[in-house]
Structure formats: C-alpha cells, structure tokens
C-alpha cells in the first residue's frame, strides 16, 4: 500500500499542476466483504476503495478525476496463472476486458468516484451492502460439504 500511496501522490501532483488527468485504482467487485483466509486481501481492497473515494473528493474541481474500478469476473490470463477453474463461475457473470475498460471510461467521463461495470456486479454489490456484515465472512468460507461455513448465511458455493 505504500507504493500505491506514493505513486498516486506523484501522479496526482503532476495532474494537479496540469489541471487535468485521470487516475484509476483497479480492484475487484466484492470490495467490502471480509472473508476468512483473505484478511489482508479484503482489508487492502477496502483501503484502496476508501483511499480512492477520498482522493476523488480532495481533487474535485481541479480537473483531475480519481476512480476506484471494481470489475467482477473478467476474462484474462489471471485465472489460468492462478490455477483457478473459470468453469465454476457461470458464463453470464464474465465480462471482457474491453467491456470493463469501456464502462470505466464512461464512468470517468461522468466523474464517478467508483465504477462497478456490469448490471449483475452492481446488483451483487448492492445486495451484499444490505446483508449483515457477519454473513459476508461466512458466505465466502466453504465448509467440508462445500456450503457456507455459517449456517445462517444461506448460500451455496458449489453444487
């Protein structure tokens, strides 16, 4: 996170002097959900989102735009490199990199502080925001049976 802050500060200072520029932080769509075995990852996402939203307000009116980009599942080589089977995610949930970039640029043009591309991703983000925070952590922790570790979460990760 130190590198993020230092690089952002350098870029923001340059953009402020020019009175124009766009800065984007790319994250994943589930930005506020904690989860077991992902404590650092989840906390970093929350930090970067908050940092980006705060910076967006600090530079408002200066000609500089800051955005937190929170795409959902995007078809890239990431899944292969990470050893993740993309087949566990339904086809409709995926977006192409081009779709993500198009949505981000449109949101930057509107001056949005946060961009969550795709209606499904926005719906999921809204629904998880309504759920009790305690249910988030249990929902993303598969038990031995492949269901949520929390009996109250009521979701199923795999069939």
Interval 70-83 mean pLDDT: 88
Task: With respect to residue 60, please indicate whether it lies within any of the assigned structural domains.
Answer: yes
Give the tens place of pLDDT for each residue, 32-41.
Answer: 567 778 788 8
Average pLDDT over the chain, rounded to an integer? 74
- For residue 77, what is the domain's CATH number? 3.40.50.720
Residue in this structure with the two tokens 């995926």, named with its chain if needed: 94
CB burial class (10 A; 0-12, 13-18, 19+) of residue 78? exposed
Output the pLDDT for position 150: 34
Q: Identify the domain containing residue 33 by its residue range.
A: 2-131
pLDDT in the model for residue 89: 85
The pLDDT assigned to 8 comes to 75
Query: Which of 31, 34, 41 lies closest to 114 in space, CA to CA?
Result: 31
- At 84-142, the pLDDT tens digits run 888 888 888 899 999 999 999 999 889 899 999 988 888 876 766 676 666 555 554 44
The rounded distance, in Å, linking the Cα atoms of 74 and 97 is 6
- Inside any domain, residue 159: no
- On whether residue 48 sits in a domain, the answer given is yes
Return the pLDDT at 155.
38
Percent of the chain scored above 70 by pLDDT? 64
β-partners of residue 69 are 26, 115
Give the range among 26-35, 37-46, 74-83 with minimum mean pLDDT: 26-35
Residues forming the active site: 41
Tokens (6 digits) for 13: 């200072």
Residue 147 lies in a domain: no
Look at residue 49 in the predicted model and tell me its pLDDT. 87
The total number of structural domains that make up the chain:
1
Range of weakest confidence among 5-14, 57-66, 71-80, 83-92: 5-14
DSSP code at position 64:
E
């Amino acid at each position: 996170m130190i590198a993020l802050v230092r690089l952002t500060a350098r870029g923001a200072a340059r953009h402020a002097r020019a009175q124009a520029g766009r800065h984007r932080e790319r994250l994943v769509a589930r930005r506020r959900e904690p989860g077991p075995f992902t404590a650092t990852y989840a906390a970093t996402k929350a930090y970067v989102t908050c940092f980006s939203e705060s910076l967006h307000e600090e530079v408002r009116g200066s000609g500089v735009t800051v955005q937190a980009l929170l795409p959902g599942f995007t078809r890239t080589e990431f899944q292969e490199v990470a050893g993740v089977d993309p087949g566990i995610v339904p086809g409709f949930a995926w977006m192409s990199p081009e779709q993500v970039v198009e949505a981000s640029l449109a949101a930057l043009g509107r001056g949005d502080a946060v961009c969550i591309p795709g209606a499904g991703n926005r719906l999921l983000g809204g629904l998880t925001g309504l759920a009790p925070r305690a249910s988030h952590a249990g929902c993303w922790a598969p038990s031995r049976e492949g269901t949520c570790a929390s009996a109250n979460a009521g979701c199923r990760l795999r069939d």
